[in-house]
């Protein structure tokens, strides 16, 4: 038999069997791998179904509302309560809110006839109340809530602006204060009714002071607190807008008590915003400049109106100017604003445009350009600037105590001053950077 020496010839049947077995083995291996992979996948699904869910801290919502919540809130009817709504700025605020479809309006005032006329014109409910009394503001809010539903917006617009000199704030309630009432029912502006009907007797100095503060400061605080209690109990949000005045920052002759009451109102606004914010209750104020309104209750002389109407925008304000600002800051577009005093005054708070330039003197190149707001070039007159006589000051040398010397050695006896005796000892622990 021919063959390679040392090699074992392969038998034909063995070769044929091996060739037939290889495809079967490969197929079996593939099936095994697929079954193993399927088992791992199924086991993973079972494990996932039996795994305890992870408890994660919910994401904290950003202040304000998202677009969907805002759209829903804006579409829902709002119950708006406006005090001082018989006239002036209060009436304008009520008219502004009445333009919103679906708004439920409740008007509050002491003037029965004016209130009834406003309510009829605006298809609103109305409550006659003396807001200068301790119980008046709370009763008005509770009646509005109980009779017409939860209150969403409260606008405290009632106020009075009588003229009262500080010297006439007498301890004797029977003394009449000098001067005549002047005007504001709604925040620094003449007009409207607040706590006393037109034509009633003028109170004495101390009584008038108390009435000003009762209506302008205490009533908004009480009404806000009453609303907050109801809103918190019902787990509802709310918005409060107080009507302040530019007088809160700038006193005027005869307006000291009024200015003081509005300054107090602005601080009460901030304090309420701070405490009620965590409950979702926003509290802001709108501060008008001078806004003339027709009022028999609080008339204002034309000379006074002309004197206080100057502002960079060159015109007096209107009740609607203020009402639009109130409606905006009470609404969803201002959902992340609270504790703010919104000045609506034509720029009056920016500065005094009619004051002459004090430096440099007229004729200096710096004067080239426009004259002061509301003035003509002829109004700007040169200022007499005189040189200041500066004389040297005698400075006596100070006898410094040695650092190692006992403090008592340099102490002054009663009634006596020695050089260096006022020097402070390190043992007195004066805070760094402070001065004596």
Under 8 Å between Cβ of 258 and 184? yes
Burial of 276 (0-12, 13-18, 19+ CB in 10 A): buried
Q: Which residue has the tokens 């410094």?
A: 400
Alpha carbon separation from 355 to 28, 288, 381, 432 (Å, rounded): 102, 22, 11, 41
CB 291 within 8 A of CB 318: yes
Q: What letter would DSSP give residue 55? A: -
Token code pair at residue 288: 């008008």
Catalytic residue among 161, 258, 304, 410: 258
258 among known catalytic residues: yes
How many other β-carbons are positioned within 10 Å of the β-carbon of residue 7?
7
Helix-, strand-, coil-residue percentages of the chain, each rounded to 5: 40, 10, 50
Please state, in angstroms and as integers, the Cα–Cα distance from residue 131 to each residue in 150, 252, 268, 341, 346, following that order. 20, 25, 17, 23, 30
Q: What stretches of 277-356 show up as alpha helix (H) in DSSP?
A: 302-308, 319-330
Residues 6+ apart with CB under 8 A from 2: none
Task: Assign 344 to helix, strand or coil.
Answer: strand
Q: What is the DSSP string of 98-117?
A: HTSTT-EEEEEES-HHHHHH
| Residues labelled catalytic | 258
């Amino acid at each position: 038999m021919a063959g390679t020496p040392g090699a074992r010839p392969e038998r034909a049947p063995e070769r044929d069997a091996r060739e037939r077995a290889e495809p079967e083995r490969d197929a079996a291996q593939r099936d095994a791998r697929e079954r193993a992979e399927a088992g791992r996948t199924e086991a993973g699904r079972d494990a996932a179904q039996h795994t305890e869910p992870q408890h994660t801290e919910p994401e904290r919502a950003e202040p304000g509302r998202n677009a969907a919540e805002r759209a829903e809130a804006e579409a829902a009817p709002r119950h708006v309560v406006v005090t001082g709504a018989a006239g002036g700025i209060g009436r304008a605020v009520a008219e502004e809110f009445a333009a919103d479809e679906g708004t439920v309006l409740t008007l509050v005032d002491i003037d029965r006839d004016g209130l009834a006329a406003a309510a009829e014109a605006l298809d609103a409910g109305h409550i006659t109340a003396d807001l200068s009394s301790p119980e008046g503001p709370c009763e008005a809010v509770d009646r509005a809530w109980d009779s017409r539903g939860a209150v969403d917006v409260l606008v405290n617009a009632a106020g009075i602006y009588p003229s009262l000199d500080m010297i006439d704030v007498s301890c004797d309630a029977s003394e009449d204060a000098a001067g005549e009432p002047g005007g504001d029912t709604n925040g620094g502006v003449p007009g409207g009714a607040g706590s006393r009907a037109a034509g009633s007797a003028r109170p004495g100095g101390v009584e008038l002071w108390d009435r000003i503060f009762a209506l302008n400061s205490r009533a908004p605080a009480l009404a806000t607190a009453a609303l907050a209690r109801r809103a918190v109990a019902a787990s509802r949000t709310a918005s409060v807008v107080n009507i302040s005045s530019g007088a809160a920052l700038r006193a005027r002759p005869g307006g000291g008590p009024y200015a003081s009451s509005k300054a107090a109102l602005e601080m009460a606004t901030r304090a309420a915003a701070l405490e009620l914010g965590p409950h979702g209750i926003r509290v802001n104020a709108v501060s008008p400049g001078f806004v003339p309104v027709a009022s028999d209750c609080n008339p204002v002389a034309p000379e006074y109106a002309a004197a206080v109407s100057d502002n960079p925008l060159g015109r007096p304000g209107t009740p609607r100017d203020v009402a639009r600002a109130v409606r905006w800051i009470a609404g969803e577009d201002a959902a992340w604003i609270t504790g703010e005093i919104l000045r609506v005054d034509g720029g009056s708070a920016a500065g005094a445009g009619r004051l002459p330039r004090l430096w440099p003197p007229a004729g200096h190149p710096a004067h080239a350009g426009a004259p002061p707001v509301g003035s003509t070039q002829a109004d700007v007159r040169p200022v007499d600037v005189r040189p200041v006589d500066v004389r040297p000051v005698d400075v006596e040398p100070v006898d410094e105590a040695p650092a190692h010397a006992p403090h008592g050695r340099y102490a002054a006896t009663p009634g006596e001053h020695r050089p260096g005796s006022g020097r402070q000892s390190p043992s007195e622990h004066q805070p760094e950077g402070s001065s004596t």
